[in-house]
A and B are shown apart, each in its own frame.
Chain A
Amino acid sequence: MHKDNDAALVNDCKRGDRRAMSQLVSQYQRPVFNAAYRILGNKDDAADATQTVFLKVFEHIADYDQKFKFFSWVYRITVNESLNQVKKRRAQESLDDGQASPWQGPAEALDSKRICRRVQDALMLLNDEYRSVVVLKHISGCSYQQISEILQLPEKTVKSRLYSARQLLKTTLQDDETAKPGH
């Protein structure tokens, strides 16, 4: 999170500097894509969301208020866009379709890939509010204060949601003996 550099690049973008735009995309496409992926649980959807996020960012760059941190603004759009996609997808299909079945086999040693998949599945079972906080904290590496700014929530609410989300994740992961935390 490069606050000063971001501000300069944003100003250059406002003047139509495409190199500055390219630099911002380069700088943020990875964290945006990863946050979107952990909220959506699907790489193609995450790529779509990432494109939309940047289109919205640059479409509204002239209106961007620099008293807010650029990364907070980008992450807020990311979370909102990802959750919008989740809602659209829910209208069409169950989130569980085609995802839960691979992890219901007999108990056996899980390799790291399968554990990651199990954790991602558990994340998808959280409600949107909890999942957003967990993703911002553990995937995007944001502090409580940053999450509070991004989601425009009191820090106390952020903490409460995070703690509850961890508790739920623990329970979900324990339900599947093969993915029990600590293995």
Chain B
Amino acid sequence: MNEHNEIGQAPVDQRIQELLNRSIDGDISAIEQDELDQLVATSPAVRTLNGELRAVTRLLDELPELDPPQYLQNAIERQVRLPAQNNTHLKKPGRLGGWLSANWLRTGFALAAGVVLTVSVYEMGSEPITGEDSTRMVGTMAKRDLNGQQGELLDSVRLDTDKLNGLVELRQKADLFTLDVQLNSEGPSELVVNLAGRGLEFDGVSRIQDPVDAVSVVDGAIHLASSGEQHYTVSLRRISKAQGDEPLELDFFADNELIQQAELNVSKF
């Protein structure tokens, strides 16, 4: 493969291109490097190509390393069955492992990739929940009253650990449910709300005082990542009464570690 220089310089032959690449990778002898240095010094085409290849390499090397999602390690660990623990994958999985393995392992990852939804978080005012509000609610927005019309308290869970503490309350008004989340963590934390098979759908997140950093919905579970003080509400809407009585499952993570699991009853009686 010869390089045709854009400014009319002579093409660089394949061996020199290879030397340039090997030099970039530090895979070149001293003698070869001397030869290449001379070529770079005397040939504008080689000099240009050398600069361009090094620039490309630098761009590649400088691509930033990304942080994996916070839930990932726990999601993996909860699905893994080691050989000595269990010879099959039919053992009853953990909550998160249940919906992950059931859907991902059995039906394949193509489907799972298609249902990942990233949701924006909106800062909301303080307006009461009304029947009209709930019917108007679509997508990512929910309305909530801080002073009175919060809906009926169905259940709650309190956390009091070193890494994560706070309170989550589940309220209901008609077909609308809200999770009022007030948490405080030293480091990054994540709340996972499993809705799968409960006849409820995610209807949005609204910030009350402190924001949630990232929200995603994967295969029927809402992942809410944040840190420090957090106060927000998660809105859920009943879409099927027949399935609506199974408790909500909540997983609380802090610093990538499962801190607490809880169930909140969606029916008071």
Contact = CB atoms under 8 A, between A and B. Distances in A.
A13 B82 CA distance: 7
Contacts of A15: 84
| Most chain A CB within a 10 A radius of its CB, from B27, B51, B76, B84 | B76
B79 interface: yes
Interface residues on A, range: 35 or more
Contact of A51 (B75, B84, B85, B118): B75
A175 B87 CA distance: 54
B46 interface: no
Given A33-B66, A119-B59, A119-B60, A50 B76 contact: yes
B116 A85 contact: no
A138 to B, nearest CB: 4
A85 B72 contact: no
Q: Do most interface residues of chain A lie in helix, strand or loop, or is the interface mixed?
A: helix
Given A16-B82, A119-B59, A167-B1, A48 B109 contact: yes
B14 to A, nearest CB: 9
B30 to A, nearest CB: 19
B77 A21 contact: yes
B133 to A, nearest CB: 31
Nearest to B59: A119
A38 interface: yes
A44 interface: yes
A144 B113 contact: no
B84 A55 contact: no
Given A16-B85, A166-B53, A181-B52, A51 B113 contact: no
A48 to B, nearest CB: 5
Contact of A88 (B25, B56, B68, B110): B110
B3 A167 contact: yes
B18 interface: yes
Contact of B76 (A55, A88, A163): A55
B76 A169 contact: no
Contacts of A50: 68, 72, 76
Contacts of B65: 30, 34
B156 interface: no
Given A61-B83, A173-B59, 11 more contacts: A18-B77, A21-B77, A33-B66, A49-B109, A51-B104, A54-B80, A115-B59, A137-B25, A138-B60, A138-B61, A181-B55
26 contacts: A14-B83, A21-B77, A25-B76, A30-B68, A38-B63, A43-B69, A44-B113, A48-B112, A48-B116, A51-B75, A51-B79, A54-B76, A55-B76, A58-B80, A61-B82, A85-B110, A89-B110, A119-B63, A139-B63, A144-B25, A162-B25, A166-B57, A170-B55, A173-B56, A181-B52, A181-B55
